Structure 1
Amino acid sequence: MPAEARFCDECGAALEAAASASTAAARPDGAPQAERRLVSVLFTDLVGHTSFSEGRDAEDVRELLSRYFETARTVIERYGGTVEKFIGDAVMAVWGTPVTQEDDAERAVRAALDLVDAVHALGAEADIGGLRARAGVLTGEAAVTLGAEGQGMV
């Protein structure tokens, strides 16, 4: 590996020397530091949420979304991911920051599959036939804000 390499060519993990050097250096203007990392990002949303919500009580819709978001957070964290943000009925989660694992991409895909199943089960439990989620995972380099937690990491 080249001396200036910051990530493992095989697994994408941050190399120890690069990680400690980039964390120790501070920008003089106080702005957050960013670095490139290999990350996997999961996007998921409810199928037909807008039409489902029409004609339903706002509190019932809010309760369903709260249960869905809690279910999503539980599944994502089980696979070592971090919820980046909730957007309407969508969830964005990331693997590869703040902690990098060799199998981040696989973990993200497994979380996506389990989340789709969990939403189906949530629909059955809430007596909402046809409640479904769709999910997609993308893996690639992204600018990651060092020290950020939750929103603003990627």
Structure 2
Amino acid sequence: MVFAANVDRVLERFLKQHCPRPDLIRAAILREPICRVDDYNPDHMICRRGDRVSGCWLVLSGQVEVRAHDQSVTFRGEGEMFGEQGLLHVLAGKNGARTADVKAIGPVRLFFIDAAFQERLTDPEKTIWVLTLADVVNMKLAQATQGRSELRISVAEQEHLLRRFSDDDALGLVKVAAAGQTPRIQPRKAIVFFSDIANFSVWSTGKDSGEVASHLHRLCSLQIDLIRKAGGQIDKLMGDGVMAYWFIDTAERERVEPAAVIRCATTIAEEVGRYVTDNGLDIGIRIGLHAGDVAFGDFGAEQRIAVTVLGATVNTAARYEQAKSPDLGQVRVSPVLRELAVEAGIAPETFRGPVKANVKHGVELDVYSC
């Protein structure tokens, strides 16, 4: 058998890379007329999963795609072999069957090595041939290991990115939804936090947009950092406001979190007040806090993940933030949360009130301040 120059070149390079005795195997291939060169058109299916193993292929030019379960696994290009594991199975006396589909990506030229080739080898040749195929498999395993390592790094980077958009419990549901599953809506008990920068719209009128954005970014960052430090989860930013929550649906959480939330809210009010004074800003902050039952889950659409808490408790917490009365302080607390906080160790005198305050739809609330 005489090979064209390009076949000789690729075959020689392949054998030098993988074969301990290139001269021996090359001579065996030249001796046997059952190996051949085949050309394939784009998208031609070279072999299918479940096909009987009839040989393996060396890519002379072009590229093939290896697919499993309708997903792309890898690509093989010039000088690379595919289908060799099937030949090893045949040599081991096993029933050889293809484990993946392989198709041509663009025009492809392949050197086909028939399975009968290895049956005609002498014992020394067969030993070298097995070592050659094993080296190809080992190289692919090393590549797969590197690929898994890179995948783990990629997953870690993706999780780090997701954590910039969602926290703890919400992150878990985001992962479930991102995987194409529908997480069930969970009945939970939570403390809900709403804040708003009072007078911000009036103050920002006519101001440079860069200056407004800079102050807003700092005020939101201050709140987010303190909420997360106190174990809270950020739900969303709403213009110049923040919504957050703490779950208290275990005895331990109910014992600890109410006090942590009150301390967090008062610290936010103090830090915002300090920032406002230092920068000469004519604004302030209002914070509303309430506790009760919520529904927690993904309330988005097919192409939109929206993990949040919903329910009357959430709406009422927003009303506490919006309550208007000259007798109210910056941090407004519902009677339910006040009771939980006192049970958690907050001194009763921390709270002023209650004050009767009217909110939307003619609703009147008893509001404590601290």
> Could you tell me the TM-score, scaled by structure 2's length?
0.31
SS in 2 for 1:33: coil
Cα offset, 1:126, TM superposition: 2.1
- Paired residue for 1:153? 308
Shift of 1:127: 2.8
What corresponds to 1:120 in structure 2? 273
Deviation at 1:125, TM superposition (A): 2.5
Cα distance in 2 between the residues matched to 1:54 and 1:133: 18
Q: Which residue of 1 aligns with 2:290?
A: 138
One-letter amino acid matched to 1:53:
S
Rounded to whole Å, the distance in 2 between the matches of 1:45 and 1:94 is 15
Mind listing any 5+ residue stretches in structure 1 that lack a counterpart?
A: 1-22
Percentage of identical aligned residues: 25
Hey, what does 2:236 align to over in structure 1?
85
Q: Distance in 2 between matches of 1:65 and 1:36?
A: 34
Query: Within 1, Cα distance between the matches of 2:268 and 2:294?
Result: 24
State the 1:84 CA deviation: 0.8
Instruction: Point out the structure with the larger helix share.
Output: 2
Report deviation, 1:30: 2.7
Q: Deviations over 1:33-68 (max 9, x none)?
A: 121111001000111111011011111110001000
What is the distance in 1 between the residues matched to 2:294 and 2:257? 14
Structural RMSD (CA): 2.6
Partner residue of 2:147?
none
**Distance in 2 separating the partners of 1:104 and 1:40:** 8
Residue by residue, what CA displacement relative to the aligned partner does 1:63-89 show, whole Å, maximum 9, x if unpaired?
A: 001000110011111211111110010
Letter in 2 for 1:44: S
Structure 2 gaps of 5+ residues are 1-172, 299-305, 310-370
Q: Which moved more, 1:99-108 or 1:40-49?
A: 99-108
User: Secondary structure of 1:136's match?
Assistant: strand
What amino acid sits opposite 1:141 in the alignment? D
Counterpart residue number, 1:16: none
Provide the C-alpha distance between the structure 2 equivalents of 1:56 and 1:142, rounded to a whole number of angstroms: 39
Alignment correspondent of 1:40: 191
Whether the 8 Å CA contact 1:119–1:131 is kept in 2: the answer is no
User: How many positions carry a matched residue from both structures?
Assistant: 123
- State the partner residue of 1:53: 204
- TM-score, normalized by length of structure 1? 0.71
**2:222 matched to 1:67?**
no
Letter of the 2:263 counterpart: R
Greater length-normalized contact order (CA 8 Å, ≥ 6 residues apart) = 1
Runs of 4+ more than 6 Å apart:
none
- Which of the numbers 78, 89, 108 marks the counterpart of 2:261? 108
